[in-house]
Structure 1
Amino acid sequence: MKKALIISCYFPPQGGGGVQRTAKFVKYLPTYGWKPIVLTSKKQIIPVLDQTLLEDIPSDTHIIRTRTLQPRIPKKRNMIHHLIYVISIPDFSIWWIPFAVFEGFKQIKKEKINVIYVTGDPFSSYFIGCILKFFTGKPLIIDFRDAWILDPRRHVRTLMKWRDQIEKLMFKICVKHSEKVVLATPSMKKDFQKYFGSIKHPEKFITITNGFDTEDMEKIENVKKEKNYFNLVYTGSLQSVSRNPSYLFKALCLLKTDNPEIYNKIRLYLVGNIDEKYKQLVYKYGIKDCVKLEGYVSHNKSLGYLKMADSLVFIMESQNNVRQITSGKIFEYIAFKKPILALANQDSDASDIIKEIGSGIFANPIDEKDILAKLLYLYNLWEKNVEMTQLSLENISKYRREGLTKKLADLFEKTV
C-alpha cells in the first residue's frame, strides 16, 4: 500500500468544520489503496474538543503529534500579543514549522512516503510541505480550505501592507512549488486559475468539495423533538459580522407582533458558538421564548438536531464578492433531505448546491420582511404536511465523503 504524509496542524480530537475534512480523508484513503501517516500539533489550538471525531479515525492510523511553540492568543490582546502577531507571518502556526519539518523528514525516510499532502489553514503549514519537498524530492499536493490571499473576506489594514506583500510572496511560492493544488469550491478553482495563469497550468488546479459521511448517520445522538412546534435548526458558529442572524431575529419579532399565534408554534435552535452580541439581540427583540441557544455540541449531537428539525436555516456571508465561500454545514444539511431556508446571496457556490439539490427557498439575508414571508411559506407547508419539492438524489450522492476521498486518492496516483 502506498503512503501519504498528511500534514494538518488541526486534527481530532480538536473540533470544528475544517478538521472534519481532513479526518474524513484519513478515514477513507485506505479504502483506495493509500495509507495515511498524519503529522499534527500536540497542542490544542482550537478551543473546542470533539472526541467523536477521533473515534471516526481507524484505530491503526499512525498519528504523530509534535511539539509547537505556537502561542494561544486571547481575544483581548496586549502589546506583547500584538508584537507576536506582527512577527508571526503568515499566522501563529509558523512556530510549529521547525518541529513539523524535523518529524516529517524522519517519517518520509522511515515510512518511505510516496506523496506529501498539506491542508490549510493555517497557511504556514504549506511551507512545511515545501521544505520537505525540497529536501526529499517527494511530490507535494496542497489543499486550500480557504483561499488565503484570494479570500474575499480578507482585510488588509493600512499599517500592515508590508505584511500583506510578504504573504502574497509566500502564497505564490507555495502554489508554484506544488505539483497539484486542491480547492474546496469551484469558484476558488477559477480564482486560482486566473491569478496563477502565468506560472501554473489550469489543469494543476482541482476542485474537491466538502461533503457528508453516510456512516455518521448511524451514530447520531438523538435530540428530543418538541411536538406540535415548527422546529427550525441552524448549526455552526455565528461569530463574524458577515454571518449575521439579526435580520432573522427581526423577522421573528415582526411575526410575534403581527401573528402571535403562529409565532408561538415556532422554535429556532441555534447550535454552535454564538457571539455574545447576537445573544443580546435575542433579548433585545423579545424572542427568547422562541430562540434556543444550544451552544457548541459534539458533531454527533449536531446531527441529532438536524434530524430532529422540520426545516433547516442556512446563513451565509451577506457582503459582495463571496461566491467562493461555502460553509461545510450545507453538505450535512442536504444529506438530511429537509427544506432549507437559505439566507444567502444566490450568486454563490453554496446557493448553487442548494439549487442543484432542489431543497431550498432563498430569502434576502438583510431583509426581515422577505425572510418572514419565506419562513411563513415553509411553516404553511409543514402545517399542511406538504413536501416542498422533488429532491435530486443523484446530485446529493456526489457529495458523499467516500467518493470525494476517491478523487483525492486518484490525484495521489497521478502525482507519484
Structure 2
Amino acid sequence: MQKVLVIAYYWPPAGGPGVQRWLKFVKYLKDFGIEPVVYVPENPNYPIVDDHLAHEIPKDIQILKQPIVEPYKWASMLSKKKTKTISSGVIQEKEPSFVEKLLLWIRGNLFIPDARKLWVKPSITYLSEVIEEQGIQTIVTTGPPHSVHLIGMGLKKQHQIEWIADFRDPWTTIGYHSKLRLTKASQRKHKELEYIVLNTSDKIIVTSNTTKQEFEKITAKPIRVITNGFDDNLGEIQMDGLFTISHIGSLLTRRNPKSLWKALQELTAENEAFKKQLRIQFAGVVGEEVLQSVKACGLENCVVQLGYLPHNQILEVQRKSQLLLLLEIDSEETKGIIPGKLFEYLNAKRPILAIGPREWEGGTIISETNSGAVFTPGDSAALKNVLLDWFELYQKGALVVNSTGIEKYHRRELTRALANYIQWESS
C-alpha cells in the first residue's frame, strides 16, 4: 500500500468547512490502496471548534503533530474578539477600527503568506526525518493557510518526492486578499510565492474550474479539479412544520440578499398564510447590516438565530428545512467559488434557493443537477414567483426535489478520483 504524507493546518477539533475535505479523504483513501499519514499542528489556535468532528477520525490512521507558534495568540492581547474574527478569514464590511486596521496591516505585511509561516521551518526539519524513516515518496499540502505549501516546497527541495499542492481556495485572487492592506511590495511577494509554489509542485488540485483556468495562466503543471462533497445520509428525519428557509454559515454584508427580503416582504403582506408559516433560520454568524435589512422589511419576527452548530447538528437542520439558502457575493472574483455546504445541500435533497453572480459555478451545479433555482441579486420578481410556487407545494405536502447526477459528489467517489490522480504518472 502506497504511503502518502498529508500536511494540513485544519484538523479536528477545528470546525468549519475547511477541515472536512481531508478528514473525509483520509476516511476513504485506504479503500483505494493509499495509506495516509497526517501531519497537523499540536497546539493550533482554531477560531472555530467542533469537538464532534474528532469522532470521525479513522482509528487506524497515523497522525503526527508538532508545536506551532501562533501570532494570533499574541495579537489577542490587543483585542481577543477582533483577532478571532481576522484569524477565521471573516473580515467585516464596515469601516475597521484602528485596532482592526493595525491587525490587518500586521497580518498582511509582516506574515507572508499568512500568520502560520512560523510553522514552516520546524515542520520541514521534522518531516525530513519522517520521510526518510518511513520511505514516503508522495506528499500532499492543503491550503489555505498557504504557508503549508511552503512546507511542501521545502521538502521537495531536500528529497526525491512527488509533491501535490491542494488549493481549497485561490491564493492571490481570493476575495479577502484585497482587504489585508497590503503594500505593493507585499502584493509582489504573494504573487512570487504563488508562482513558485505552482511551478515547483508536481501536480495541483483545485476545487473549481475557475481556479483551474486562473492557475493555467501561471503554470504548465497538471491541474485536476476535485470538488468538495458530501458523505452518507443519517436516515429518516421529521421535516419542519413551518415553511423554513435556512442559511448555513456566515452571512455578512456583501452576501446580504436584499432582493430576497423584498420578495418575502411582499409575500407576507399579500398572503396571510405565508406570513404565519414563514420562518427564516440562520445557523452561523450573521452581520448586523443583514439583520437590519431583515428588520426593515418587517421580517424580524420570522427570524430564528441558531448560532454556530456542530456539524452533525448542521446536517440535521439542512434535512429538516423546507428550503436551503445559498448565497454568494455578486462580483467577478466570486464566480469560481463553490461553497462546501452546497454539496451537503445536494445530499439533504431539499430545494436550494441560490442567489449569486452570473455564470457562477455554484449555480451551474444546482442547475445541472436540477436541485433548485438560481437567481442574480436583482431578480426580486422572479424570486417571488418561485417562492410562492414552492410555498403552495409545501402546503400540499408535495415540496420535494428530484435531483440527478449528485452521486459523483459523494466523498468516496471524490476520493477515488484523488487516488487515481495520486497514482497517475504525469511524466
Same fold (TM over 0.5): yes
Mapped pair 1:26 → 2:36: no
3-state secondary structure, aligned to 1:267: strand
3-state secondary structure, aligned to 2:116: helix
The structural deviation recorded for 1:385 is 3.3
Would you say the 8 A contact 1:143–1:183 is kept in 2? Answer: yes
The aligned residue for residue 92 of structure 2 is: none
The structural deviation recorded for 1:281 is 3.7
- Number of equivalences: 403
Q: Which amino acid aligns with 1:23?
A: L
Would you say the 8 A contact 2:240–2:321 is kept in 1? Answer: no
What per-residue deviation string (whole Å, max 9, x for no partner) do you get for residues 126-157 of structure 1? Answer: 11000011111211000011111243664277
So what's the TM-score if we normalise by structure 2? 0.87
The aligned residue for residue 228 of structure 2 is: 210
Would you say the 8 A contact 1:364–1:370 is kept in 2? Answer: no
The structural deviation recorded for 1:66 is 1.6
Would you say the 8 A contact 1:70–1:94 is kept in 2? Answer: no
Would you say the 8 A contact 1:314–1:340 is kept in 2? Answer: yes
Would you say the 8 A contact 2:239–2:319 is kept in 1? Answer: no
The structural deviation recorded for 1:177 is 0.7
3-state secondary structure, aligned to 2:245: strand
The aligned residue for residue 242 of structure 1 is: 254
Would you say the 8 A contact 2:327–2:356 is kept in 1? Answer: yes
1:158-307 pair list within 5 angstroms: 160-193=183-216, 195-196=217-218, 199-201=219-221, 204-214=222-232, 217-218=233-234, 226-227=240-241, 229-239=242-252, 241-307=253-319
The aligned residue for residue 408 of structure 2 is: 398
Mapped pair 1:63 → 2:76: no
Distance 1:91 1:108, change over 3 A: same
Q: Which amino acid aligns with 2:65?
A: R
Distance 1:164 1:82, change over 3 A: closer
Would you say the 8 A contact 1:213–1:401 is kept in 2? Answer: yes
3-state secondary structure, aligned to 2:337: coil
3-state secondary structure, aligned to 2:300: coil
Would you say the 8 A contact 1:139–1:415 is kept in 2? Answer: no
The aligned residue for residue 386 of structure 2 is: 374
3-state secondary structure, aligned to 2:305: strand
Q: Which amino acid aligns with 1:404?
A: L
Would you say the 8 A contact 2:366–2:374 is kept in 1? Answer: no
Mapped pair 1:13 → 2:29: no
Distance 1:41 1:250, change over 3 A: farther
Would you say the 8 A contact 1:242–1:319 is kept in 2? Answer: no
3-state secondary structure, aligned to 1:49: coil
Cα RMSD, aligned residues only = 2.4
What per-residue deviation string (whole Å, max 9, x for no partner) do you get for residues 87-135 of structure 1? Answer: 1011111121122222221221222212010000011111100001111
The structural deviation recorded for 1:380 is 1.6
The aligned residue for residue 126 of structure 2 is: 103
The structural deviation recorded for 1:80 is 6.9
What per-residue deviation string (whole Å, max 9, x for no partner) do you get for residues 47-103 of structure 1? Answer: 111122221111121222221112225154374774454210111111211222222
Q: Which runs of 5+ in 2 are unaligned?
A: 76-82, 86-98
What per-residue deviation string (whole Å, max 9, x for no partner) do you get for residues 227-262 of structure 1? Answer: 2x21222212214x3322344333333333333431
Q: Which amino acid aligns with 1:176?
A: N
What per-residue deviation string (whole Å, max 9, x for no partner) do you get for residues 269-327 of structure 1? Answer: 11122223323444444322211111110111000001111221111222234221110
The aligned residue for residue 147 of structure 2 is: 124
Distance 1:247 1:96, change over 3 A: farther
So what's the TM-score if we normalise by structure 1? 0.90
Would you say the 8 A contact 2:258–2:377 is kept in 1? Answer: no
CA distance in 2, matches of 1:343, 1:80: 32
The structural deviation recorded for 1:44 is 3.3
Would you say the 8 A contact 1:318–1:366 is kept in 2? Answer: no
3-state secondary structure, aligned to 1:270: strand
3-state secondary structure, aligned to 2:424: helix
CA distance in 2, matches of 1:77, 1:152: 18
CA distance in 2, matches of 1:364, 1:349: 13
Q: Which amino acid aligns with 2:63?
A: I
Q: Which amino acid aligns with 2:6?
A: I
Would you say the 8 A contact 1:153–1:322 is kept in 2? Answer: no
Q: Which runs of 5+ in 1 are unaligned?
A: none
Distance 1:83 1:388, change over 3 A: closer
Alignment partner of 2:417 out of 379, 392, 407: 407
Distance 1:187 1:279, change over 3 A: same
The structural deviation recorded for 1:46 is 2.7
What per-residue deviation string (whole Å, max 9, x for no partner) do you get for residues 191-226 of structure 1? Answer: 221x12xx415xx11111111011xx2389x7x754
Would you say the 8 A contact 1:233–1:312 is kept in 2? Answer: yes
Would you say the 8 A contact 2:281–2:306 is kept in 1? Answer: yes
Would you say the 8 A contact 2:239–2:322 is kept in 1? Answer: no
Distance 1:93 1:346, change over 3 A: same
